Amino acid sequence: MTNQSDIIDQTDRRSAHNYNPLPLVLERGEGIWVWDTDGNKYLDCLSAYSAVNQGHCHPKIIDAMVKQAQKITLTSRAFHNDRMGPFLEKLCQMAKMDKALPMNTGAEAVETAIKAARKWGYEVKGVENNKAEIIVVRDNFHGRTITAVSMSSEPEYRKNFGPFTPGFKLIDYDDLPALEEAIGPNTVALIMEPIQGEAGIIIPSDGFLTSARKICKKNDILFVLDEIQTGLGRTGKTFCFQHEKNAVPDILIVGKALSGGVYPVSAILASNEVMNVFTPGIHGSTFGGNPLGAAIGLAALNVIEEERLAERSQIVGAYLMRKLQEIKTNKIFEIRGKGLFIGIELDHSLGGARSYCEALMKRGILCKETHEHVIRLAPPLIIENEQIDWMVEHIAAVLQN
């Protein structure tokens, strides 16, 4: 049997070093648990960056995948397939939006939203050709493509990747006056996350989304929300924008848990007016909307609905937050979160959260640092209070040492 160090050495030798994973090798997952190649069991508190909201290898999603894989997996969009329509129907119903455009990865969905916003700006709003501007916010994370890093304020994401895609204006997050000031005659959209995940679970002020949407509406620009991480139950609502009454976006970007972590599936959703800017030949993807991905996506959405995972996230997430706040230690600077999307920001004098994540790994809990000083907790939404108690007991022990 190959040991973990050999596998890690092989990976390091053959793979670009674009990640810094914790030193273990996973080979199996079921529900909230994963196992390494030595048979050690861990509670997964990352959920593949919120892609596995339904739990690892959910039987209904796996069954849908296997059945569809035995029929037909890919047709391309040159032909109709019998799975894409039902999948998009369900997605649009859950989001209460007119149309969806399916892609594969979250980054592709972000690119699609940018193209939709620019094309809408030229063809509907009447912005002069090639002058469209999109407002983005500091500390955002929208993916790793050249255009996505062109939107970023993180120097590490941008270093030596220029020249960058033009047409973006950067403002502070949760800053309504800055938003109003940034809007000009060529502004076509505001794109942001309703909660910033990679930035360290940064939650805006109450009512910020509603006010931002109102400003966008007043100025005839599109309000675009990237819910790739926050959507599909993670924050205690089906979509994070639903925590406010009047924060419905003009374009909604979804991915990750859209397939339960089984297969790359993403999409944008929008009104007929916005989506009608796409005509045959304008935009596409060989795999986007493929029957295998659509069958998996439909099953993943059904699981979220049938098992009431958004409601579970709200209830269990509130319980987890209460338990975390009972930890007595001066190492915690702040605990932030909604639903099962929680960040524990440590005192910056401690040198970062990485060592604490490694200590938790040794205790059977897998989580990952984000923005250097924050421990992100985002377990599958099927987690129970009993496992929460066990998790918090070990978190407390590590932070109190």
**Which one of the listed residues 44, 87, 141, 250 is annotated catalytic?**
141
Residue 209 CA from chain centroid, whole number: 17
- φ, ψ dihedrals at 116, nearest 5°: -65, -45
Q: Strand 341-346 vs strand 133-137: parallel, antiparallel, or unpaired?
A: unpaired
Q: Is 139 a catalytic residue?
A: no
Can you state the angle between helices 84-95 and 291-306, rounded to 10 degrees?
A: 40
CB distance 388 to 319 below 8 Å? yes
Beta bridge partners of 134: 168, 189
> CA torsion angle for 44, 45, 49, 51 (degrees, to 10)?
60
**Which one of the listed residues 119, 226, 250, 278 is annotated catalytic?**
226
CB atoms within 10 A of CB 309: 26
- In single-letter form, the type of residue at position 58 comes to H
Q: Is 141 a catalytic residue?
A: yes
Beta bridge partners of 270: 99, 251
**Which one of the listed residues 90, 99, 237, 256 is annotated catalytic?**
256
Q: Is 96 a catalytic residue?
A: no
> CA torsion angle for 119, 185, 106, 172 (degrees, to 10)?
180
Beta bridge partners of 187: 133
Cα(174)–Cα(31) distance, rounded to whole angstroms?
35
Active-site residue numbers?
141, 226, 256
